[in-house]
Amino acid sequence: MRNTPIRSLMWLPLLAVLAVLPGCIVHGEDDWYDDDDDICYCSSDKDCSPGESCRSGVCRTVPPGSGGCSSSLDCPGSQICINSVCSQFCSRDSDCGSGQRCDDHYCVGNGGTRPDAGADGGTRPDSGTDGGTRPDAGSDGGTRPDAGVDGGSPLQCRVNMDCGAGNYCINSQCIRGCYDDSWCDAKDTCVSGLCRPRPVDPNTCSTAADCSGGKDCVDGQCRAACDSTTQCPDDYSCQIGYCMPIPDGGQCRANCECPAGQVCFNGQCKPPQPDPGQTCVANCDCPSGEVCTNGYCRPPAPPPPPPDAGTGTACEANCDCPSGQVCSNGQCKVPSPPPVQDAGTSTPVCRADCECPSGQVCTDGVCKPVNTGSGNSCQATCECPAGERCIDNVCWL
């Protein structure tokens, strides 16, 4: 009879060894498992098998043809740079190329399998080590070493004269003098007249190993994975599966991509504009008590003062009154508008038929009588039926 408890105990030594090996860590509830259900957790690409990349803490198959990158500018089309690999964002398998599938919103090679926990034999280096090959981030090859990052190299100077004109001997090392950043190397900045190493942006990265808190390296910056904007900090939105910053006034596609209190208007994040109100052509298009002003229904403007309203200032002549007023009956007043000259041909100006008197219509901005005649086209009255006249090339009754 099979003794399951004893058999399980036999595997404990092996499991203990696997638990301390670097690289892939397989989570399973039993000592026998199906390879298809194994998940390879990682902190850098070094924890994954060849042809895979570490993303969101899991080894993912790199699609064929995905090039290396340091920023999304290195990637073709709409691909973005994630952990130094050009990746294509997707929502379904049809968004990916031939031989690929959509896995966790990114195209991966179809048929790729995640490595078994023991597949690398414990040979992968720990994600936090670099074999001692990486130079110190603060060194510059010894040409202008900083006192704090030289690591005990031989003395380079004793006095300023040992460093050349414009340079200074500080802690036995030559430091370049400067007036502004243009005097320094690209990786240095001018601080108190000395070229010093620029502070390292803690969010800058090349791979996920450079990030903390399970973040991935997206386009050279550490970004947290997300499913919705509610999982992101303020002024960030969930885009392409990661919390991405929203620049003030930056490009947007929806209101959720804008900072709080702003809306997306014509691709730009802007403060919301007040509702312009109901559109109109004429006053009759507006609710009662409103008038049509510049195409929108608005409350009517206050009526102008009557023509004889004045300031009350006593006067004897126009020159005694403020500009725009005249002296009338010993008081400064606004002059009355000149009378409209009516030659018998003027008609009310209109924008819609409802603004014309009964029996008239708005034609070319002018109220005109409704034509009850034939309406035939004409050049002269003799071309119209009896009793009609040719007006504006139309026969009128």
pTM above 0.75, yes or no: no
In this prediction, residue 347 carries a pLDDT of: 54
Instruction: Give the Cα separation of 70 and 45 in Å (integer).
Output: 15
Average pLDDT over residues 15-41: 42
Instruction: Give the Cα separation of 254 and 372 in Å (integer).
Output: 55
In this prediction, residue 311 carries a pLDDT of: 56
Average pLDDT over residues 181-208: 85
Please check whether residue 80 is in contact with residue 60, taking contact to mean a CB–CB distance below 8 angstroms. Answer: no
Burial of 366 (0-12, 13-18, 19+ CB in 10 A): middle
- Is the pLDDT assigned to residue 33 strictly greater than 60? no
Q: Which two tokens stand for residue 106?
A: 């990114």
In this prediction, residue 56 carries a pLDDT of: 64
Query: Looking at residue 46, what DSSP letter applies?
Result: G
Q: How confident is the model at residue 381 (pLDDT cuts 50, 70, 90)?
A: confident
Q: Percent of the chain scored above 70 by pLDDT? A: 65
Mean pLDDT rounded to a whole number for the chain: 69
Domain spans in the chain, listed from the N-terminal domain onward? 20-109, 154-225, 356-396
In this prediction, residue 41 carries a pLDDT of: 61
User: Bridge-partner residues for 170, per DSSP?
Assistant: 173
Phi/psi for 209 (5° steps) reads -65, -20
Average pLDDT over residues 247-264: 71
- Is the pLDDT assigned to residue 224 strictly greater than 80? yes
Q: Is 302 helix (H, G, I), strand (E, B) or coil?
A: coil
Please check whether residue 216 is in contact with residue 55, taking contact to mean a CB–CB distance below 8 angstroms. Answer: yes
Identify the residue with better confidence: 300 or 42.
300
Closest CA to 96 of 109, 84, 86: 109
